[in-house]
Chains A and B, each alone.
Chain A
Amino acid sequence: QPLAGGQNAELQSKVVPSKQILHSDNMEMEPETMETKSVTDYFSKLHMGSLVYSCTSKRK
């Protein structure tokens, strides 16, 4: 098969992968940050009065 040698060389040259296809899709992003609320931000003042509030503050 006279073609084989030349074709073989050409086949080898196509082995080099496209960097775009292989690498750009596995970029590692940092996590998102969400804003947080808590019922304890409000309830101490509104529901339980200052006594509970001072207790929870002391525990910290």
Chain B
Amino acid sequence: DRSFHVRYRMEASCLELALEGERLCKAGDCRAGVSFFEAAVQVGTEDLRTLSAIYSQLGNAYFYLQDYAKALEYHHHDLTLARTIGDLLGEAKASGNLGNTLKVLGNFEEAIVCCQRHLDISRELNDKVGEARALYNLGNVYHSKGKNVANAGTHDPGELPDDVKNALQKAAKYYEENLSIVTELGDRAAQGRAFGNLGNTHYLLGNFRSAVLAHEQRLLIAKEFGDRSAERRAYCNLGNAYIFLGEFETAAEYYRRTLQLARQLKDRAVEAQACYSLGNTYTLLQDYEKAIDYHLKHLVIAQELHDKIGEGRACWSLGNAYTALGNHDQAIHFAERHLEISREVGDRSGELTARLNLSDLQMVLGLSYSTNNSMMAESHAVENSLNGGRPRGRRYSMENMELMKLTPEKVPNWN
């Protein structure tokens, strides 16, 4: 009859639209894929499993497009639907996806609940693959949680408050549990991912030797797969760990490989980051000519990419390196540029650093304080506003000049 025919046509067209959405997303065109999925939702279907699959893919597509609010909405619809129809595997998947999305949005506690649900159901269904994936996701949530809290403070890796340490230790435990399952399953790609993030967790915990061991494993697997992006990530992470082991030559070697791969992969942003890391490493090696060479390369790319923050950092680093070489004209040029950019981007602490660098340089060059009174007064005002009105450490009047400490407090910890 007629109504059956209409309903049949609608089901078919919903399905066709969804299939086209799937095809487009698989081909990497998530933007177009989303349009087809949304059209499929508009047409509608009476089959709730099909609708669940559409919601799930819409959630993932929005996740890849970095529209996390929309991703959250659709993964939530999918979870509700899966529960309604009693699809336990579907519920596990929806919970995992919701957990990943909540993690990116910084809602760690709810993310943990969702990822734990993914894990519990997978165990109930004796689904080893699902269990391993849930463990990896849980590791990622605890890693992000730890890193997020750690970023709020200013400490080197290894010097961490207890809550940060707890979260990171949990992350390490989940990655290790994941590793034992995926090793059993012989899933090398999953092992690669777990080793990479386990290495980064050890790095934040200050276990730099363990970090190196994990990243070496990650590197091995990346080479096995010919995955050059993963290989580049491993080199960069190895470089970072060797910096903290005080082995700067080895770090420089890994950063050089990072740079080489970044150029091959034509990733300018990563190339800039590698140049910056190399500049810093050569500074630690006290080879300031090479440091300047790499910082200049970083500066050029930062300008090309309109990365003002990167440009400011490059100028600061260049100012320091030229100061070390005794080239005060260039040092002042870059310190002034650093000041300008800090003002432009509203970086108050960068602005203060630049002012202090400039005043130090002007003092070295023998410029009298009286000619720079206005700048000093301004610096003082900036510093007071940053320190809640209390001046600390530095004094600006002529009679107290001997109290000026130009060396930062943390120098003894650096080597």
Contact = CB atoms under 8 A, between A and B. Distances in A.
A33 interface: yes
B197 interface: yes
Contact of B407 (A10, A20, A31): A10
A12 B366 CA distance: 17
Contact of B284 (A1, A10, A17): A17
A20 B159 CA distance: 11
B60 A36 contact: yes
A16 B283 contact: yes
Interface string B88-99: 001011101100
Contacts, number: 160
Interface in B280-318: 280, 283-284, 288, 317
Contacts of A26: 236, 240, 273, 277
Given A14-B407, A47-B47, A39 B203 contact: no
Contacts of B116: none
Contacts of B408: 14, 18
Interface in A3-59: 3-4, 7-8, 10-20, 22-24, 26-43, 46-47
A15 B60 contact: no
The residue in A18, A29, A37 that gathers the most chain B C-beta atoms within 10 A of its C-beta is A37
Contacts of A34: 60, 63, 96-97, 100
Contacts of B156: 18-20, 24
Contacts of B265: none
A42 B192 contact: no
Given A37-B56, A47-B11, A10 B406 contact: yes
Given A14-B411, A39-B50, A29 B200 contact: yes
Contacts of B321: 15
A33 B111 CA distance: 14
B196 A39 contact: no
Contacts of B136: 33
A33 B196 CA distance: 14
B240 A23 contact: yes
Contact of A23 (B94, B197, B243, B326): B243
B22 A38 contact: yes
Given A20-B157, A42-B49, A37 B57 contact: yes
B149 to A, nearest CB: 14
B262 to A, nearest CB: 11
B154 interface: yes
B366 A4 contact: yes
Nearest to B410: A18
> Chain A interface residue count: which class?
35 or more
A8 B327 CA distance: 11
Interface string B17-58: 011001000000000000000000000000101101110110
A11 B280 CA distance: 17
B377 to A, nearest CB: 21
Nearest to B218: A30
A3 B95 CA distance: 66
A28 to B, nearest CB: 4
B350 to A, nearest CB: 11
B323 A46 contact: no
B274 to A, nearest CB: 9
A1 to B, nearest CB: 4
Nearest to B194: A30
A29 B196 contact: yes
Contacts of A12: 323-324
Contacts of B143: 29
A52 B402 CA distance: 88
Nearest to A48: B15
Given A38-B22, A46-B47, 11 more contacts: A4-B366, A11-B324, A15-B320, A15-B323, A17-B283, A19-B244, A19-B414, A23-B240, A24-B156, A29-B196, A36-B57
Interface of A: 1, 3-4, 7-8, 10-20, 22-24, 26-43, 46-47
Interface of B: 11-12, 15, 18-19, 22, 47, 49-50, 52-54, 56-57, 60, 63, 78, 90, 92-94, 96-97, 100, 118, 130, 133, 136-137, 140, 143, 154-157, 192-194, 196-197, 200, 203-204, 218, 230, 232-234, 236-237, 240, 243-244, 273, 276-277, 280, 283-284, 288, 317, 320-321, 323-324, 326, 360-361, 363-366, 406-408, 410-411, 414-415
